[in-house]
Structure 1
Amino acid sequence: MAVESRAISTRPLPGSGVRSGSGHDAQWLTLTDCKRVLVVVHTEVYGSRLRDLLPLLESDLRIQIHFTIAPHAFNAGAERVLRALGGTALPWEVALRGEFDLVLAAGSQGVHRLRGPLLRMPHGAGHIKLSRLTDDRDPGAPRTVGELGRQYLTRHGKVVPRALALAHREELATLARTCPEALPVSVVVGDACHDRLVASLPLRGRYRTALGLRRGQRLVLVSSTWGLGSSFNRLDALLPRLLTELDPARHRVAVLVHPNVWSCHGDWQVRSWLAAAQRRGIVVLPPDTDWRVPLIAADWVIGDHGSVTLYATLTRAAVLLARFPATDVNPDSPAAELARIAPALSPAHPLGEQLAYARAEYPAAEYERIGRRISSEPGRFARNTRKLMYRLLGLGEPAHAASLPPLPVPAPLAGVTATGEIPA
């Protein structure tokens, strides 16, 4: 699951500053007059979301895809995405001078400066979080649903995206409250992670084998989002309990930390904070891990208000909440509903008993209902999103059904050492 280390080129490409196939540098091109698509990677999370769009555009010789890294506080992880893709990045300033037929982004910072119709994608499940109190895009404004407020969708009173992709029709009602002027450009397309998770559930056994789980061994996945309300702030108390209270012959513990934590604090520092637990057998998953694989493999998820916890409702995992900062969560979101149903981790009772309780009281019908709130277009993300992208490009779609592959089975992690370390 680790990406191959490649140098990231940021040299301007032929045609990068002007229309592809025109201008003095067109002599270097092999294919000319391509529609130019710019993929804007703000962070590792945003980039991972946009990766699910790329198979919908592949093998089309009418399209040239460029990448750029946009300014963001969590830029550090963006380079990992491009290394994994083997993509060549246009420097941001070069991208600002270019003209594109379609711009794909999962974030809002700086995209109003780009020239080309913007398709804004969501970067998480269910628009869980409220806008930050310290958001400098609209100081002092009341909190709104993250990424659906005016400060994220408009500039100087004008809606920035040409199209705003939503996962569920419920989000139209939210948008009607937070930024009604964006309703005309909104399109409910579904959720790629939802569809790929569901399609990959039959591969659970192969994922578990690749993750090094032995027969009869159960996986406890500890998941943390980023920020002050995340479960990462409780790991110093939780991880020692997992080590001392669970039988390592029967349980394997893996920790999945949001890429923004790695990006902000640095890879070395996060590994250092988790080093003692790792030496004692807890698996620390690298930031470039496709989190959907261990999520499908998990028997329990101990999480917080991050998207991973919500996506767990689509799997066989029982959920326990280590943290849930309700004041930072959209009260109408499926994550808020999950918090009203999932058991909360208790410091006063043995962990083994709590895991058994969560499994015995597993509310299957409620989790299924919450899972249905992630996407109102289940299984149709690929079809809907390709149709939208080609409409914006002014091209006819390829003459085959749009689809996304199941999640690949990672190489067997024979490299998981006795200390639980997965090589980067």
Structure 2
Amino acid sequence: MQDRRWVLNPVGRHGLPWLTRTGCKQVLVMMDQIVSGTRLLDLLPLLEADHRVQVVFTVPEPPESWHASHEFVEAQGGVVIPWSQARHLRFDLAVAAGQFGLDEIDAPVMLVPHGYGFGQYRLRPRPAGDDRAAMMNLDREQLMRDGRVRADIVVLVHESEREILAQTCPEALHHVVVGGNIAFDRLMASAGARERYRRALKVPAHRNLVVVSSTWTSQSAFGRHPDLFERIMDQLPSEDYQVVGLLHPNIWSHHGRRQVRAWLDDCLRAGLGLVPPEEGWHAALIAADFVIGDYGSVTGYAAGLGTPVLLAAEPDDAPLKGSPAAALCDNAPRWQREQALLPQLKKLAANHTPDTHAEVRRRLTSRPGHAAAILRRTMYRLMDLPEPARPACVCPVPPPRLVS
């Protein structure tokens, strides 16, 4: 459990005697989960190098939370303020990728999506009947408190999401910025480092890299198929193929690192490369020759990159038409578990073209290549600070590492 003591920090009057750099704008990064925290780390290079800015971190604490979230934030090397203390301080900007605590912070708040974006919605039953309503994690119950929108800025990745928001919470429309998809822009900006990433994953030049990806919940590929990795590795000749696994951070957080590694111990001994939840999925996708995954956003990003994809699991409820997940499920061939895998991969490669998943790519962002400029401009406007003169650009992702 997180230490409840208040800590010395550069925000507020109690830290003034200790300051070396004074007059900075104070930015609070609200990391409630690993998965949302990784998206916020995509944003931070847009402002944290500015000598006029001081960034600090906190973990919003709902009634129930994962210990892994605190470990992740502590590992970033920044000043971490307990949630109980952060709620009593004033900041010039707060950025979050989850809804908890938005209205408890004294700051202009920018809410950004993770995963596919807020467009990874599905249909759900209305409480009063059988009619189906759109769900985008941005309905009125989540966005509104006491008659006001909880975030000053709500970032959408795609223009089409505005239409859904008009149905679910029209009050939030005047808070919207269509900012594009910074995760996808980072992927595209990193594509030239493919060989470097393959070396980091220890993939020899003569081997095909098969990345196996699973989101979380019992409907995911790993949830539906406990033998997912064993079955794939058993069918691929190790002299020609190498397998790397990507598991959603919520799997690691909820079941624990020890348990995940124990479940995969035989595969790890047989040569499975496993990427940790904090960093590495971007680079693994760029390095991949094939991706076998489910309806989760990592598989969709692979498709958007132009990588051949086999779909290993679908959700019980069909994704809403027009979402990236729906485009993926409409177009990706299915992995036939009871059939030999090698012929499926060869057929997949023969039939694949750069435009096979063009619709998925189109749905991932309506501002391709512009997320850095839009998001930096928005954050500096909220801070009431002129932007730096240098152009805003995304940083290529670092080389991946493997769980040892």
Whether the TM-score (by the shorter chain) exceeds 0.5 is yes
1:48 to 38, 51, 61: 38
Q: Could you list the per-position Cα deviations for residues 352-385 of structure 1 after superposition, in whole angstroms to 9, with x for gaps in the alignment? A: 1111122222253241232022111111111111
Q: For 2:54 and 2:387, locate their aligned partners in 1 and report how far apart those are by CA, in whole Å.
A: 15
Select which of 71, 76, 81 maps to 1:85: 76
**8 Å CA contact retained: 1:129, 1:328:** no
Counterpart pick for 1:130 among 105, 122, 126: 122
Distance 1:336 1:232, change over 3 A: same
Matches within 5 A, 1:243-322: 243-322=233-312
2:117 aligned with 1:117: no
Q: Which residue of 2 aligns with 1:151?
A: 141
Paired residue for 2:157, among 153, 160, 167? 167
C-alpha distance in structure 2 between counterparts of 1:397 and 1:8, whole Å: 36
Per the alignment, residue 108 of structure 1 pairs with 99
Deviates more, 1:343-352 or 1:77-86: 77-86
How far did residue 143 of structure 1 move? 5.3
Whole-Å separation in 2 of the counterparts to 1:123 and 1:193: 9
Q: Retained in 2: the 8 A contact 1:44–1:80?
A: no
What is the aligned counterpart of 2:220 among 230, 248, 256? 230
2:279, 2:54 → 1: CA distance? 28
C-alpha distance in 2 between matches for 1:203 and 1:398? 27
Whole-angstrom CA distance in 2 between matches of 1:26 and 1:269: 45
Q: Write the deviation string for residues 103-134 of structure 1: whole angstroms up to 9, x where unpaired.
A: 10000012211111110000111421438889
Partner SS for 1:303: strand
265 and 218 in structure 1: CA distance in 2 versus 1, 3 angstrom threshold:
same
SS in 2 for 1:214: coil
Say which SS state the counterpart of residue 357 (structure 2) adopts: helix
Residues matched between the structures, number:
400
What is the DSSP-based 3-state SS (H/G/I as helix, E as strand, rest coil) of the residue aligned with 1:284? strand
CA distance in 1 between counterparts of 2:297 and 2:100 reads: 21
Counterpart AA for 1:27: P
For 1:344 and 1:373, the matched residues in 2 are separated by: 21
1:70 match: secondary structure:
coil
- Give deviations 1:135-191, integer Å, cap 9, x for gaps: 9xxxx9975423221122111232111001111111111111211111100001111
Query: What one-letter code is carried by the residue in structure 2 that aligns with 1:168?
Result: H
Gaps of 5+ in 2: none
Kindly state the Cα deviation for residue 389 of structure 1 after the two structures are TM-superposed. 0.4
**Pairwise CA RMSD:** 2.5
Separation of aligned partners in 2, 1:9 and 1:53: 28
Mapped partners of 2:107, 2:36: distance in 1: 19
Q: Distance in 2 between matches of 1:98 and 1:219?
A: 48
Question: Aligned letter for 1:13?
Answer: L
Q: TM-score, normalised by structure 2?
A: 0.92
Identity %: 40
**The one of 365, 368, 373 aligned to 1:378:** 368
Aligned pair in 2 of structure 1 residues 93, 181: CA closer, same or farther (>3 Å)?
Answer: same
Q: Report the counterpart of residue 13 of structure 1 in structure 2.
A: 8
Distance in 1, Cα, partners of 2:104 & 2:218:
31
Q: Aligned partner of 2:93: which letter?
A: L
Q: Is contact 1:304-1:322 (8 Å) kept?
A: yes
Given that residues 97 and 112 in structure 2 are in contact (C-alpha distance below 8 angstroms), is that contact kept between their aligned partners in structure 1? yes
Unpaired runs of 5+ in structure 1?
Answer: 1-6, 414-421
1:330 equivalent in alignment to 2:320? yes
Per the alignment, do residues 313 and 88 of structure 1 end up closer, same or farther by CA in structure 2, a change over 3 Å counting?
Answer: same
Q: Which letter maps to 1:118?
A: V
Q: CA deviation at 1:210?
A: 1.5
Given candidates 156, 161, 166, the residue that maps to 1:176 is 166
Question: In structure 1, what is the Cα distance between the partners aligned to 2:324 and 2:392?
Answer: 28
Conservation of the 8 A alpha-carbon contact between 1:191 and 1:381: yes
